[in-house]
Chain A
Amino acid sequence: MDNIAGKKSSLNWAVQISVVLLVALWLFPTFGLLVSSFRTADQISSSGWWDSLFPTQQNLTLRAADPDDEGNQVLKDGLYIVEGNLFGEAGDAEISVWGTSSRAIDANVAGDTAEMKDGETMTVLSDGTYRWTSPEELSGRGQRVFVTATTPPEFTFANYDNVLFSGNSTDSMAKAFFNTLTVTIPATIIPIVIAAFAAYALAWMDFPGRAILIAIVVGLLVVPLQLALIPLLRLHLGIGIGKGYLGVWLAHTGFGLPLAIYLLRNYMVGLPKDIIENARVDGATDFQIFTKIILPLSFPALASFAIFQFLWTWNDLLVAKVFLIDATGETTVMTNQIVELLGTRGGNWEILATAAFVSIAVPLIVFFAMQKYLVRGLLAGSVK
């Protein structure tokens, strides 16, 4: 409708460009970490991740094979020859200029043959292949060659391999991953069941005190869970649950309930009244109405809450720290594991970035797969 006046093309361009910039700004931080998680420790500490996206030019000092070693030196037509590749084997690196003296590292271009003392010659091709010849038998160490090489971007999965599958328990995210999963799934499903019944009663059953119960639920929505930490920890220790999965499941259930009841009630109230009344007239009990009519119809709201609760429990640090993780650290979750890595391996970005991405990956997949329900839940949960 902004186009009614019919002269907005320049403004439209400005809008497009601003959105591109905004999106780029918002993606940039995550992208940096993602790129870093595919780089080796040396690469990360020697250059910024933004450099790794482009071919880099480096000055390297390489060495030809040692002529004294068996089999390296061949006598052919009166010439002693050592052949091979300066990089060990032909890779992606491309040599532009090279030299045999540290004072003139750009004396020759790739493909040239350089004359050295005592009639020796050296030929270096752009892929690193060299041919080193001499009329006399060569001895001593391999000839040094100074090259200026352009290396294409190089990435590795080694970090993920290391973080997920290595046996090293202090860095391993595999255990923490399964612990997080163990916390998350029951803590997502159980509150849904409990809340759905309560929401149905609050939406469609008439009883004294209903309005007050709804008001209490709305009030409890905003109670900071910080208040619950000490009393509940005492309670758990008192009744023998202690620190463990049961405690954290119960805590997440309790903390998730207000939002669950609120979202589900708001949704259920909006369901068509006729269906429910017809079912009542036909003799269905409330239990049957709930399981056969309300639950299937409420699927979008159930999905919305499930995503919220999943993201919240997966990303949670505080509740897990208080109710789950004991001194042995056997039950550590990923967020806690990352915080500990930040403390102990603060400079090891290859481990940190990879660990963080392992923990981010699952919520991101859920997010992009079920965004529709997440948005719907957000709208139902906050716009009144």
Chain B
Amino acid sequence: MEAAYKGLLTIFLGVGGCLLYFYLSNQILDKVLFPAKGAMAGRNINRANMIRPWLFVFPAMAALGIYLAYPVVATFWYSLTDRSQGDAFVGLANYQQMMAEPKFWEAMRNNMLWLVIVPAASTAFGLLAAQLTDRIKWGSIAKSLIFMPMAISFVGAAVIFKLIYDTRPVDQAQIGVLNAVWLQFDGGVGSWLILRLLPGLLMLCAAAISAYVAYGLFLAIREKGGAVLRGIGIAILAFITFSFLSLALGAFTSNHAYGEPQTWLTIPGWNSFLLMVVLIWIQTGFAMVILSAALRGIPEETIEASIVDGANPFQVFFKIKMPQISGTIVVVWTTITLVVLKVFDIVFAMTNGQWETQVLANYMFDKLFRANDWGVGSASAMIIMLLVSPILVWNVYNARKEMK
């Protein structure tokens, strides 16, 4: 309760103080420093108007400087020093120490998986939801329900999904949905269809799509040249195709422990995906809202013309609508990428990085506040900054282009 009064007082002082600052500083400028009267009136008004913008932006810029700009520099400096040696400069020793840790590489590998899968899945689901709800009567209700997880904290979502992944011993009733569903599979025909054929076919389809795109690139090289970039593309696609093929093989041949409840969050490999599901669940609503607005913004004439020309709904979507909203898709993708890079709460609350689920942000928190190793902690923070910086540059570049 005492804190609540303190909070009220702070609101009062903070807001009142800000308003008072702006009011008084403007008054002083106009009445005391450069009064708009007397012989110098014209010159004084001009001078006051030159200074005034800085009065307006000063508090914000000071706060930004102290709370965001200074820390970037300071963290970089800390990453080059060692706290236990009295903040002595140690060069890249912290980075070397970090690179030598398997936990760091585990976090990097997981972060890369998160970076690929979460934005892709969220954007895809968001696009699907946006397109499906676009023309139906209760679409806005459906959208607001899918959007709802945005309001739920990562910690709250972690609890929600921990209940889904919950495990009880064999002889007790399962209270986690995932295990309850899992126990329905007994290794019979249904299990074969759903757990082997379906994922196997999906993987084969994915492999076929990526092989097809690679083939398209190959044809493009023969027609247009540009062998270097397209060659790299083909190499990456070949790797992806190979990964999907091996996953398909795995889907058909791997052994399933039918009838045994699984402790999902402790199975390395799968558990990271289960954590990603939480973030996808949250971010899909965001992607849907933005993409839905973009779909609404598409000129109707283009769609009408394509329908008149005999395009089916799928062609309309993929060949007419998709190209027109590609810019928005990129924005959604990068925004979710930023969220993914900073993801901390979900991993912290659900596994705390155990069982090979570590990610960079949680690794950093571990180093800072458990191991008390500020040097390595700062070094890993700098890695996050490094991963963010392409997006930063791109954003600033776009903003400047728009200003002109």
Chain A residues proximal to chain B, CB less than 8 Å? 1-2, 4-5, 8, 11-12, 15-16, 18-19, 22-23, 26-30, 32-33, 36, 44-50, 178-179, 181-183, 185-186, 189-190, 193-195, 197-198, 200-202, 205-207, 210-211, 213-232, 234-235, 245-246, 249-251, 253-255, 257-258, 261, 285-287, 290, 311, 314-318, 321-322, 331, 335, 338-339, 342, 349, 352-353, 355-356, 359-360, 363-364, 366-368, 371, 374-375, 378-379, 382-384
Contact A213 B14 (CB under 8 A): no
Instruction: Please indicate the chain A residues that have their CB under 8 angstroms from the CB of B71 in the complex.
Output: 227-232
Q: Given that A30-B160, A222-B338, A315-B154 are contacting pairs, would A245 and B349 also be in contact in the complex, using a CB cutoff of 8 Å?
A: no
Chain A residues with CB under 8 A of B396? 215, 218-219
CA distance A355 to B180 in the complex (A): 24
| Interchain Cβ contacts under 8 Å between A and B, 30 examples | A2-B303, A4-B304, A19-B133, A29-B164, A47-B175, A190-B18, A193-B15, A200-B56, A205-B56, A206-B53, A210-B53, A211-B403, A215-B400, A218-B396, A219-B392, A220-B68, A222-B391, A224-B341, A224-B342, A226-B342, A230-B378, A261-B60, A286-B26, A290-B56, A314-B153, A342-B159, A349-B175, A359-B155, A379-B290, A382-B331
Q: B377 contacts the other chain (Cβ, under 8 Å)? A: yes
B388 proximity list for chain A (CB < 8 A): 222-224
B residues 73-87 with Cβ under 8 Å of A? 74-75, 78
A183 to B: closest C-beta gap in Å: 8
CB nearest neighbor in A for B51? A207
Given contacts A198-B56, A226-B384, A315-B154, contact A249 B142 (CB under 8 A): no
Interface residue? B318 (CB, 8 A): no
Asked if residues B128 and A29 are in contact (CB atoms below 8 Å), the reply is: no
Bound-state Cα–Cα, A206 to B75, Å: 34
- Are the C-beta atoms of A211 and B10 separated by less than 8 Å? no
| Closest Cβ neighbor of A30 among chain B residues | B160
Assess whether B61 is in contact with A249, with CB atoms less than 8 Å apart. Answer: no
Contact with A along B377-399 (1 / 0, CB 8 A): 11001101100100110011011
Contacting A30 at CB < 8 Å: which of B6, B142, B148, B172? B148
CA of A245 to CA of B41 in the docked complex: distance in angstroms?
Answer: 47
Report which B residues bind A (CB closer than 8 A): 1, 3-4, 6-7, 10-11, 14-15, 18-19, 22-23, 26, 30, 50, 52-54, 56-57, 59-61, 63-64, 66-72, 74-75, 78, 128-129, 132-133, 135-136, 139, 142, 144-164, 166, 168, 172-177, 180, 281, 284-286, 289-290, 293-294, 300, 303-304, 307-308, 313, 316, 328, 331-332, 335, 338, 341-342, 344-345, 348-349, 361, 364-365, 368-369, 374, 377-378, 381-382, 384-385, 388, 391-392, 395-396, 398-400, 402-403
Summarize B's interface: helix, strand, loop or mixed: helix
* Closest 8 A/B residue pairs (Cβ): A254-B67, A315-B153, A198-B60, A201-B56, A231-B74, A367-B151, A228-B71, A356-B159
Smallest CB-CB separation from A51: which chain B residue? B173
Chain B minimum-CB-distance residue to A341:
B159
Q: Is the CB of B59 within 8 A of A194?
A: yes
Q: Do A220 and B56 touch (CB < 8 A)?
A: no
* Complex Cα–Cα for A193 and B18 (A): 7
Cβ contacts under 8 Å, A48 to chain B: 173-177, 180
- Report the minimal beta-carbon distance from B281 to chain A, rounded to whole angstroms: 7
Tell me how far the C-beta of B301 lies from the nearest C-beta in chain A, rounded to whole angstroms.
10
Contact B160 A186 (CB under 8 A): no
The prevalent SS among residues of A at the interface is helix
Q: How far is the CB of B365 from chain A (nearest CB, A)?
A: 7
A364 touching B381, Cβ below 8 Å:
no
Contact present for B63 and A254 (CB under 8 Å)? yes
A-side contacts of B157, CB under 8 Å: 29
* Chain A residues whose C-beta falls within 8 Å of the C-beta of B382 in the assembled complex: 227
Partner of A211, one of B22, B23, B61, B400: B400
Who on chain B is nearest to A183 by CB?
Answer: B7
State which of A32, A195, A339, A383 has its C-beta within 8 Å of the C-beta of B348: A339
Task: List chain A residues, Cβ under 8 A from B385.
Answer: 223-224, 227
Contacts A218-B399, A353-B163; A207 near B146 (Cβ below 8 A): no
For B72, the chain A residues whose CB sits under 8 A away are 223, 227-228
Measured CA separation A311–B153 after assembly (Å): 8
Point out the residues of chain A lying under 8 angstroms from B7, CB to CB: 181-183, 185-186, 245
Option from B132, B144, B400 in Cβ contact (under 8 Å) with A18: B132
Contact of B155 with A197 in the complex, beta carbons under 8 Å: no
Q: Choose among B146, B365, B395 the residue that contacts A222 (Cβ–Cβ < 8 A).
A: B395
B401 nearest CB neighbor, chain A only: A384
The 8 Å CB contact of A257, one of B63, B135, B172, B331, is: B63
Q: Which of A12, A50, A193 contacts B177 (CB 8 A)?
A: A50
Name A15's closest neighbour in chain B (CB-CB). B132
Kindly state the separation between the CA atoms of A15 and B136 in the bound complex, as whole angstroms.
8
Give the complex CA separation of A23 and B163 in angstroms: 19
- Closest-by-CB residue of A relative to B180 is A48
A193 to B7, CA, bound (A): 16
Task: List the B side residues contacting A224 at CB < 8 Å.
Answer: 341-342, 361, 381, 384-385, 388
A194 to B382 CA separation, bound complex (whole angstroms): 29
Docked complex Cα distance between A207 and B53 (Å): 7
Q: How far apart are A295's CB and chain B's nearest CB, in angstroms?
A: 11
What CA separation (Å) do A203 and B404 show in the bound complex?
A: 14
Q: In the assembled complex, how far is the CB of residue B137 from the closest CB belonging to chain A, in whole angstroms?
A: 9
- Distance of A224 Cα from B349 Cα, bound (Å): 20
Inter-chain CA distance A235–B66, complex, in Å, is 9
Report how far A198 CA is from B385 CA in the complex, Å.
Answer: 26
